[in-house]
A = this chain, B = another copy of it.
Amino acid sequence: MLVLRKPYLLFLGDARTPVDAKTALGVAQWCPDDVVGELRFAGAAVSTGMPAMGIAEAVAAGAGSLLIGIAPAGGQLPPHWLPTLFEAVDAGLDIVSGLHTRLNDFPELVRAATAAQVQLHDVRHGAWPRVTGTGRKRAGRRLLTVGTDCALGKKYTALAVTRSLQARGIPATFRATGQTGIMIAGSGVAIDAVVADFIAGAAEHLSPDNAGDHWDVIEGQGSLFHPAYAGVSLGLLHGSQPDALVLCHEPGRTALDALPAFPTPRLADAIDAYLRAGRLTNPAIRCIGISVNSSALDDAQWAAYRDRTGAELGLPVVDPLRGGVEALTAAIVQPEETHHDA
């Protein structure tokens, strides 16, 4: 498992749009206490709201890493960023990057990092665990977010459920499987970058044995209904051995975002498919609710959708951004009243 050195100085470079800067914005939103400030170039159009500071100030404030919080077009590292990266390394900061371009492909940067005894973390290309799955049942309880498609709120839902459990006094840990999640958590496994033979083994590694009343809340990836990524989703499901699933969905998304020829499944069919697959490693798996990205609906539409869907499935339906996830955590606390026998 990758472990990062917090707190972060968020590097925003010359970010033009919030979409460019979604990594920095996500980190600033979910773990503001782990951020000392942001470093922007003159003319950058986005801010996280964190204090603006340079490398020296950040080091003085206790920063452990410079986190590249912006995704440039094409995922490549622009050469004009390099002076800042060298300055950070020379000042004793690790660098954390989720870019396609590898920091470790710049020999001079590698030499500087070695000399300064700091780390260059290419989160997208980590040396992930090469362990095969065992199927052995682990102690502790686990929740996995799954989806009818990619990119509809699995990370956000897992983070929100973790916070909600903690607020109820239930011990819970967010387990990150994607690069932004890893940056927020400070550790994790980029599950889609693991060698295929080791997907389930890496997922087992991510949520080891824990106290019996502890919940690992695991960030899902991909979708069983996506023809490119279903293998990743299945291996993550098997290795996670979840007791509880939360199905994430976006109403009105009738086809996969990236592949319009593939329809999204009906919610009941999706629940059925995830439960069938998940029973291989946890026969007691159940779906405890639906998490919806309802941004396309107005308030009346959302209320109607939530109530109708909830009644049809016999499950709580939430939007983390529109009322929170309390109904999901309530279903965890009182499972016997809400479980789904699909």
Contact = CB atoms under 8 A, between A and B. Distances in A.
B280 A225 contact: yes
Interface string A256-271: 0001011000000000
A151 interface: no
A234 interface: yes
A34 to B, nearest CB: 28
A17 to B, nearest CB: 24
Q: Name the residue in A231, A233, A235 with the highest tally of chain B Cβ atoms < 10 Å from its Cβ.
A: A231
Contact of A196 (B192, B277, B280, B281): B192
Contact of A199 (B231, B236, B262): B231
A193 interface: yes
A18 interface: no
Contacts of A303: none
Contacts of A135: 227-228, 259, 261-262
Nearest to A131: B228
Contact of A227 (B197, B200, B262): B200
Contacts of A234: 230-231, 234
A68 B134 CA distance: 30
A185 interface: no
A30 interface: no
Contacts of A24: none
A231 B232 contact: yes
Contacts of A276: 273
A292 interface: no
A335 B228 CA distance: 29
Nearest to A222: B197
A32 B183 CA distance: 54
Contacts of A262: 135, 280
Top 8 nearest A-B pairs (CB, nearest first) are A231-B235, A133-B228, A135-B227, A192-B197, A231-B231, A199-B231, A132-B228, A231-B234
